[in-house]
Structure 1
Amino acid sequence: MRAHAEFRWVDLEAGRRIDDPAHACELLEMYVGPQGEPGGERFQLTVCTPSALKEQLGRHPFLIGRHWLFVAELHPDQVTEWLSDRIAVLEAPTWSELAERIGRIGEWEFEDDIDRPMLWPP
């Protein structure tokens, strides 16, 4: 099973623009469902440049980064194209497994390497 994605830049829909692509932080919603089937899930990412992250950290000294995507410059079309490419190559036997992979986008050794025997605890 493979997925199909549609994207929504929440704060940019009202006509607001990104003034400086090198200093931007925007919420992106991805609506992803199985190809050729009804239904799907909403995933949210904060897409942020390093300088905008630094500004955010000045206001909020602790940020949880699990659902953040960092880019050198924020160009919405390039971000959605990149994410579409990543989602298009993911495959799993069930929608639940595929949605779990999409929700992580990247891999994390301890979540994704299920064939490797657990080394801890000894």
Structure 2
Amino acid sequence: MSDGETAQPKRGGTVVSFPAAHGQDARVSFDRDELRTILNVYGRMVAAGEWRDYAIDFRKDKAVFAVFRRASEMPLYRIEKDPRLARRQGAYAVVAASGLVMKRGQELGRVLRVLEGKALRVVE
């Protein structure tokens, strides 16, 4: 046990408290304002009939918001937040299904504008 853990006797054994995360299990996530901005764009695209589903993934190195035309498909776009790139190219990026980075920058709202163009409609 480390210095932050305490063992407490329990029936038939000991209970060891869960170790506190000291940056080891920290995950990158979107804050409330970032999610509000992303979900506003998502809502407009759902209302237009372009998008139907989404998924959010919080990893150790980046947070990803993926949008889908159908739930069973690959994501059409991924909105990524990578804090390691914040000082260089910008922490936010919109990545197409092919892996092409469509837009990268420091401001999420400005990066998401690339998704609102009429040229991005899905052709069926």
TM-score, structure 2 length as denominator? 0.29
Task: Please identify which structure carries the higher strand content.
Answer: 2
Return the structure number with greater relative CO, CA threshold 8 A, min gap 6. Answer: 1
Of Structure 1 and Structure 2, the greater helix share is in 1
Could you state the TM-score of these two structures normalised by the residue count of structure 1? Answer: 0.29
Give the number of the structure whose alpha-carbon radius of gyration is greater. 2
